[in-house]
């Protein structure tokens, strides 16, 4: 039965994939899938891996929706060769994965683990053998627990030195074959969710009378953490330039969670609110790297709680980026928060921007919703997002380091319905069409697109309740991988060519 279904899908989606193809993008534009170590690898007690803050966090009651953890995840630690075959079959150029700091340094510092280094060498070599290039993230939220215990992790300046040491070893061990590095994945996200709202590791907050958290200060800690992330990024970048750039020739960027914020009205106050929303997300990290200072709106609204960027720090930060990674999924409407009641009640960092966001305007939703409540499908948002980066920061090289949508996972959803993921196909078709227009018509310097994700995986606080993958993972049957219709769509799309206009 599955063979027949698969044959029908091939015929059906071969025609649909003609609406967008690899040929709609410039020569050299890269396609890939993305993942993270904690969500994919599993094997948390193997290979001399140390404990991470997410191992600890998942054990806290009520933090994960389905009470699961990622001890097994999708077991890519043991199955990476098979997963690489899936990528090769689709025609993907790159695989973006993260290195687990705890596999390299089980205690965060000290002696590195030969087993951890050997594992990532094996993964990188297996990718290259199949013609797929590695695209490596150094930090995707999984700080070694030992560093959290010793000095409270990202709240201490000591983490800057330790991250630089970790990055140096990764460059030295893998940089002869890895030519694209991401220092940090979504620093805005984990600074707020981990240190303001307390809903992600390490789970610090002070809102609502410490109802969720044992310790923390939501009004200051996110800004301290973000500042140390910026300094750690710059330290790693300068180390690479000094010791590795000449002989390895790689590029280094940062992957930012980038929601597009659209003014809900044409009123100046709502346009200003949208600008502040962008300042307090993307600008929080790009302004220091491009301009040597935090956005003016942050300086005004956060005031003395915002760490100082000295002249020496500014010189270190400016220019410490070869490309901008953009994790873009969705868009929201914004309005000015006139009353500031939220700020009065919560006294936290996320309310500092004085912005109210919503997916609704005059009763109409901004876009169809995926499974997750935060993810509305708004294809035009990606075009506005890359144009924003082009216009504000001088059109730097950009790579869409994540984009994708999820479906619900539940006992009453049939396998046939899950595999026939037409909605996901429309999602990628429409987002890619808008991205192509941004490149060809708006001259945005976008150089790649990574799908989140290759496989259904463990999705942080949502556990296994949602599915983002191009491949279905049967969590009740030995983690068997089964292609969805979207996998076949990408396979066809990446093989199709169109005549390119002479100006591309």
Told to judge if 402 belongs to the known catalytic residues of this protein, a careful annotator would answer yes
What gap in Å lies between CA 487 and CA 482, rounded to an integer?
10
Q: What is the 3-state secondary structure (H, E, C) of 17-61?
A: HHHCCHHHCCCCCEEEEECCHHHHCCCCCCCCCCCEHHHHHCCCC
Element (H, E) at 163: helix 158-174
Backbone φ, ψ for residue 408 (5° rounding): -70, 150
Can you give the C-alpha Rg of the chain in angstroms? 22
Dihedrals φ, ψ of 394, to 5°?
Answer: 80, 30
From 152, 221, 262, 402, active-site residue: 402
- Phi and psi, residue 280, nearest 5°: -80, 5
Could you give the maximum distance between any two Cα atoms of the chain, in Å? Answer: 67
Helical (H) or strand (E) element with 467: strand 466-467
Find the length of the chain. 504
Percent composition of the chain: helix, strand, coil (DSSP 3-state, to 5): 45, 15, 35
From 41, 164, 186, 459, the catalytic residue: 186
DSSP 184-232: EE-HHHHHHHHHTS--STT----GGGGSS-SS--TTTHHHHHHHHHHHH
In terms of Cβ atoms closer than 10 Å to its own Cβ (0-12, 13-18, 19+), residue 282 is buried
Which residues form the catalytic set?
A: 186, 402
């Amino acid at each position: 039965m599955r063979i027949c279904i698969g044959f029908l899908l091939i015929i059906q989606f071969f025609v649909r994939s003609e609406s967008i193809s690899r040929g709609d993008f410039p020569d050299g534009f890269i396609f890939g899938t993305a993942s993270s170590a904690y969500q994919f690898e599993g094997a948390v007690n193997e290979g001399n891996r140390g404990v991470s803050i997410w191992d600890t966090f998942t054990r806290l009651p009520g933090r994960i929706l389905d009470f699961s953890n990622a001890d097994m995840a999708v077991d890519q630690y043991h199955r990476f060769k098979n997963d690489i075959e899936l990528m090769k079959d689709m025609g993907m150029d790159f695989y973006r994965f993260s290195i687990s700091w705890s596999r390299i340094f089980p205690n965060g510092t000290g002696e590195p683990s030969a087993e951890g280094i050997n594992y990532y060498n094996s993964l990188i070599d297996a990718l290259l053998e199949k013609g797929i290039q590695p695209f490596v993230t150094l930090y995707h939220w999984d700080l070694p627990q030992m560093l959290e215990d010793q000095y409270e992790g990202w709240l201490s300046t000591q983490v800057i030195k330790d991250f630089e040491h970790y990055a140096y070893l990764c460059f030295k061990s893998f940089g002869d074959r890895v030519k694209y590095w991401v220092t940090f994945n979504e620093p805005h996200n984990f600074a707020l969710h981990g240190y303001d709202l307390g809903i992600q590791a390490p789970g610090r907050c002070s809102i609502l009378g410490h109802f969720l958290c044992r310790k923390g200060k939501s009004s200051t800690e996110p800004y301290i953490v973000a500042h140390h992330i910026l300094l750690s990024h710059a330290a790693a970048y300068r180390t690479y330039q000094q010791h590795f750039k000449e002989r390895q020739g790689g590029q280094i960027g940062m992957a930012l969670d980038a929601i597009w914020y659209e003014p809900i009205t044409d009123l100046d106050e709502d346009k200003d609110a949208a600008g502040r929303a962008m300042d307090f997300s993307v600008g929080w990290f790009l302004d220091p790297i491009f301009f040597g200072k935090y956005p003016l709106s942050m300086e005004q609204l956060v005031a003395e709680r915002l760490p100082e960027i000295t002249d020496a720090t500014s010189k270190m930060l400016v220019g410490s980026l070869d490309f901008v990674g953009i994790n873009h999924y969705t868009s929201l409407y914004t309005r000015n928060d006139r009353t500031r009641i939220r700020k009065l009640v919560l006294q936290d960092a996320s309310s500092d921007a004085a912005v109210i966001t919503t997916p609704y305007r005059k009763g109409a939703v901004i876009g169809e919703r995926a499974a997750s409540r935060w993810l509305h499908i708004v294809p035009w948002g990606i075009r506005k997002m890359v144009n924003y980066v082009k216009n504000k920061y001088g059109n730097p090289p950009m790579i869409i380091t994540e984009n994708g949508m999820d479906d619900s996972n539940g006992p009453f959803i049939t396998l046939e319905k899950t595999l026939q993921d037409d909605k996901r196909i429309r999602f990628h078709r429409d987002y890619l069409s808008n991205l192509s227009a941004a490149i060809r018509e708006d001259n945005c310097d976008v150089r790649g697109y990574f799908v989140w994700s290759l496989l259904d995986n463990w999705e942080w606080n949502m556990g296994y309740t949602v599915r983002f993958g191009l491949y279905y993972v049967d969590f009740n049957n030995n983690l068997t991988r089964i292609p969805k219709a979207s996998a076949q769509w990408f396979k066809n799309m990446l093989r199709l060519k169109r005549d390119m206009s002479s100006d591309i």
